[in-house]
Amino acid sequence: MTTNAAWIQEVVEKVNRGESDVTLDFSAVRRIDSTEVGALEDLAALAGGKSVTVVLRAVNTDIYRVLKLLKLTDRFTFV
């Protein structure tokens, strides 16, 4: 199993390949650490610069709360 940060890196590669929207499934993710938050920040910046929509699916309330405190929720779509 890959770490969450490595998983996010796979999505970064999809954005770099030119996909118009990408989805991250958080259903198995219970918490995130600073490395993963940094990877999400980098992903948000990259996607914003390329007009790519990043969808975060099945984010639990604890992770959403962290992203909200870090002002990252506006940079993603949640389903």
Q: Which pLDDT does position 1 carry in this prediction? A: 39
Domain coordinates in residue numbering, the chain: 4-78
- Cα separation, 60 vs 4, in Å, equals 15
Predicted structure pTM score: 0.84
pLDDT tens for the chain, residues 1 to 79: 355 667 777 888 888 888 888 999 999 999 988 988 988 998 999 999 999 999 999 999 999 999 999 999 999 999 9
Instruction: Extract the runs of DSSP E, i.e. beta strands, from 1-79.
Output: 21-25, 53-57, 77-78
Helix (H) or strand (E) holding 64: helix 61-69
CATH number, span 4-78? 3.30.750.24
